């Protein structure tokens, strides 16, 4: 199929804000799509090339690509971006007005676009930036103006067509005469709307688990308090909540495949887990889930940052398995010897899991107790924190495994850290509609008479807060480089967060995990009253009972 057809679809979707209209437009498109293209078309109608994939392309790189393709200085692209608030529209403008039209312009097919974009996240290491640039530039050089708009937006992950999962689900149902619930169930176990659309079209829509196809994982809600969480369920289990990587293991005899919470395959990054599965799982076929954590030489848990080096690593894997040892803590069973176990209550799943696993020091069960007794639960929670874990998850023992959802059957309980008062010392202008506001802020703690950066605060700011803060900060800007600004340390804000992490990126050596603005303290606090690096050091050492 020609890519221009998809670009016109995007344009049509963008033109209406009504969900039902979007659903109808998509349903017609899916119905008419040739069988061979249906899977790709369905994924790309959401503006993505694979479920939950991060393409890793920033606006700055896209500006370079556009400048290269259209043979104009980057400054001009930036200027157009400021005017239109959208790099897609900027590219469309330059494609319309380009001086030299490409000599052999070929017509783009959806496969051309799909393949080039699909390659982007796979590139890493030296020279990968240039390779990425040339893959996108190749597409743009052949693109008609409307196509350029959407190639840029797809690559940036910012489609602006307002198509969420629910609309795609309903459109597939409408196109092929199915119930939305049937489509949803099938999506839950395949995690892939492309496959679901194909099955719906050829009358083979199924919600059976297929070994090797990752199932969308069950998620936890937050509970403010352990007692409250316990009261929710008639029968409760409490488990340590480990700060690691969710892993779904698919075992089909000797074939082992590992998937992340986002359904990305991680088999090659964790060869030791593959080996342990062969040694420790007694069942022939199963899907089990657990949390992988990095551990020190004594087997004590290490913060997530250590593990993230393992996830990103694509080469020298054997060396990494020695440098950053890991452990997996299992907590669920969702498939066993040809049958789904998702509908069975957790109590049974946990018991059966215990029967099919031979535990070792590295392949083990998560700490788990079954109780409604508050004092026992509190003791367990304290133990979890003392062991350096994030908190606990309280689970309903009578509940089934609900893929892809937060339905309140699992409740996480974590300590809330005392907020910090920090000073704003820098920021970054937003993008698109937010180009005139500071979208993220660089925070700092006091370090004697100076300030040391402690990370960025970005997501979570409301438009109101962004506007308000920008007006206060604008007169304090001392330097500006592209979108980055330096700001005189004057304004103190109170910030909540989940954890203090060590970070070489900022001068304090620390960064905050999930920081959120609680309030602006300009009337109450001066920069001299802000919290100090010493305080952060102390909080860091004591958090989660960890004595460093």
- Residues 6 or more apart whose CB falls under 8 angstroms from that of 379 comprise none
Number of residues that bind ligand AMP (CB under 6 A): 12
Identify the residue among 143, 156, 393, 512 touching ligand AMP (CB under 6 A).
393
- Residues 6 or more apart whose CB falls under 8 angstroms from that of 238 comprise 230, 368, 369, 370, 371, 377, 380, 381, 392, 393, 394, 395
Q: How far is the CB of 413 from ligand AMP (least distance, A)?
A: 11
CB-nearer residue toward ligand AMP: 228 or 482: 228
CB-nearer residue toward ligand AMP: 193 or 409: 409
CB-nearer residue toward ligand AMP: 114 or 331: 331
CB-nearer residue toward ligand AMP: 60 or 382: 382
**How far apart are the C-alpha atoms of 313 and 309, rounded to whole Å?**
6
Half-sphere exposure (Cβ direction) of 453: Cα atoms closer than 13 Å: 16
Sign of CA dihedral 412, 414, 416, 422: negative
Catalytic hit among 22, 201, 241, 344: 241
241 tagged catalytic:
yes
Q: How far is the CB of 412 from ligand AMP (least distance, A)?
A: 5
Q: How far is the CB of 191 from ligand AMP (least distance, A)?
A: 15
Q: Build a one-symbol-per-residue string for 347-366: x at contacts with ligand AMP by CB under 6 A, - elsewhere.
A: -------------------x
Which residue is nearest to ligand AMP, using beta carbons? Answer: 246
- Please list every residue from 328 through 347 that binds ligand AMP, using CB under 6 A: 331
Instruction: Mark the segment that binds ligand AMP (CB under 6 A) among 87-95, 135-143, 240-248, 484-492.
Output: 240-248
CB-nearer residue toward ligand AMP: 229 or 487: 229
- CA nearest 390: which of 287, 242, 230? 242
Identify the residue among 23, 344, 412, 446 touching ligand AMP (CB under 6 A).
412
Instruction: Mark the segment that binds ligand AMP (CB under 6 A) among 89-97, 239-247, 337-345, 351-359.
Output: 239-247
Instruction: Mark the segment that binds ligand AMP (CB under 6 A) among 200-208, 235-243, 280-288, 466-474.
Output: 235-243
Q: How far is the CB of 511 from ligand AMP (least distance, A)?
A: 18
Q: How far is the CB of 333 from ligand AMP (least distance, A)?
A: 13
Strand 410-413: give its sheet, edge to edge: 221-222, 410-413, 391-396, 236-241, 368-370
Alpha carbon separation from 335 to 244, 284, 341, 457 (Å, rounded):
23, 11, 5, 41
Identify the residue among 235, 246, 472, 521 touching ligand AMP (CB under 6 A).
246
Q: How far is the CB of 367 from ligand AMP (least distance, A)?
A: 8
242 binds ligand AMP (CB under 6 A): yes
Helices 59-70, 128-142: inter-axial angle, 10-degree rounding: 50
499 binds ligand AMP (CB under 6 A): no
Q: Build a one-symbol-per-residue string for 200-219: x at contacts with ligand AMP by CB under 6 A, - elsewhere.
A: -------------------x
- Residues 6 or more apart whose CB falls under 8 angstroms from that of 20 comprise none
- CA nearest 509: which of 465, 452, 426? 452
Instruction: Mark the segment that binds ligand AMP (CB under 6 A) among 116-124, 237-245, 513-521, 536-544.
Output: 237-245
Q: How far is the CB of 404 from ligand AMP (least distance, A)?
A: 12
**How far apart are the C-alpha atoms of 178 and 513, rounded to whole Å?**
43
Query: Quick one: tokens of 182?
Result: 């049937």
Q: Is 292 helix (H, G, I), strand (E, B) or coil?
A: strand
- CA nearest 517: which of 456, 472, 446, 474? 456
Residues 402-406: contacts with CB under 8 Å, at least 24 apart = 402/218, 402/342, 403/188, 403/189, 403/215, 403/216, 403/217, 403/218, 403/342, 404/187, 404/188, 404/216, 404/217, 404/218, 404/219, 405/218, 405/219, 406/219, 406/220, 406/221
Q: How many CB atoms lie within 10 A of CB 121?
A: 16
Identify the residue among 5, 19, 131, 261 touching ligand AMP (CB under 6 A).
261
CB-nearer residue toward ligand AMP: 243 or 531: 243
Alpha carbon separation from 397 to 84, 228, 357 (Å, rounded):
53, 16, 20
Q: Which residues bind ligand AMP (CB under 6 A)?
A: 219-220, 239, 241-242, 246, 261, 291, 331, 366, 393, 412
Give catalytic residue positions. Answer: 241
């Amino acid at each position: 199929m020609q890519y221009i057809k998809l670009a016109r679809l995007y344009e049509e979707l963008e033109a209406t804000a009504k969900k039902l209209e979007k659903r109808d437009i998509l349903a017609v498109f899916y119905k008419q799509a040739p069988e061979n293209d249906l899977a790709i078309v369905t994924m790309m109608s959401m503006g993505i090339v694979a479920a939950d994939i991060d393409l890793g392309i920033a606006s700055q790189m896209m500006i370079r690509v556009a400048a290269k393709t259209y043979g104009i200085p980057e400054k001009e692209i930036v200027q157009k971006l400021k005017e239109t608030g959208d790099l897609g529209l900027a590219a469309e403008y330059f494609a319309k007005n380009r001086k030299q039209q490409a000599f052999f312009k070929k017509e783009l097919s959806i496969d051309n676009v799909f393949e080039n974009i699909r390659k982007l996240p796979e590139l890493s290491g030296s020279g990968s930036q240039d390779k990425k640039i040339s893959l996108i530039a190749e597409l743009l050089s052949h693109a008609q103006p409307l196509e350029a708009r959407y190639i840029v937006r797809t690559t940036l992950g910012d489609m602006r067509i307002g198509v969420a999962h629910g609309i795609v689900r309903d459109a597939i149902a409408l196109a092929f005469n199915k119930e939305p619930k049937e489509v949803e169930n099938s999506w839950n176990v395949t995690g892939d709307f492309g496959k679901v659309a194909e099955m719906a079209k050829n009358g083979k829509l199924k919600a059976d688990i297929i070994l090797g196809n990752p199932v969308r994982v069950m998620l936890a809600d937050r509970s403010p308090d352990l007692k409250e969480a316990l009261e929710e369920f008639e029968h409760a289990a409490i488990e340590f909540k480990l700060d690691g990587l969710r892993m779904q293991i698919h075992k089909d005899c000797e074939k082992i495949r590992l998937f992340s919470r986002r359904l990305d395959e991680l088999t090659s990054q964790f060869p030791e887990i593959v080996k342990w599965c062969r040694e420790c799982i007694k069942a022939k076929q199963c899907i089990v889930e657990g949390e992988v954590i990095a551990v020190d030489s004594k087997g004590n848990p290490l913060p997530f940052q250590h593990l993230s080096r393992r996830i990103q690593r694509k080469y020298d894997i054997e060396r990494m398995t020695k440098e950053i040892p890991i452990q997996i803590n299992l907590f669920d069973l969702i498939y066993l010897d040809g049958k789904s176990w998702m509908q069975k209550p957790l109590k049974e799943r946990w018991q059966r899991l215990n029967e099919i696993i031979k535990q070792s020091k590295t392949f083990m069960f998560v700490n788990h107790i079954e109780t409604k007794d508050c004092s026992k639960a509190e003791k367990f929670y304290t133990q979890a924190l003392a062991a350096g874990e994030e908190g606990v998850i309280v689970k309903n023992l009578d509940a089934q495994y609900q893929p892809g959802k937060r339905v309140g059957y699992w409740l996480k309980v974590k300590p809330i850290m005392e907020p910090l008062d920090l000073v704003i010392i820098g920021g970054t202008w937003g993008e698109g509609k937010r180009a005139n506001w500071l979208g993220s802020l660089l925070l700092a703690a006091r370090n004697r008479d100076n300030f040391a950066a402690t990370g960025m605060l970005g997501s979570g700011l409301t438009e109101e807060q962004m506007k308000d803060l920008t007006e206060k900060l604008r007169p304090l800007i001392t330097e500006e480089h592209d979108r980055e600004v330096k700001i005189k340390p004057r304004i103190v804000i109170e910030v909540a967060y989940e954890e203090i992490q060590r970070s070489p990126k900022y001068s304090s050596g620390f960064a905050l995990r999930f920081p959120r603005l609680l309030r602006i303290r300009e009337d109450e606090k001066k920069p001299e009253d802000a919290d100090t690096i010493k305080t952060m050091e102390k909080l860091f050492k004591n958090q989660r009972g960890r004595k460093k």
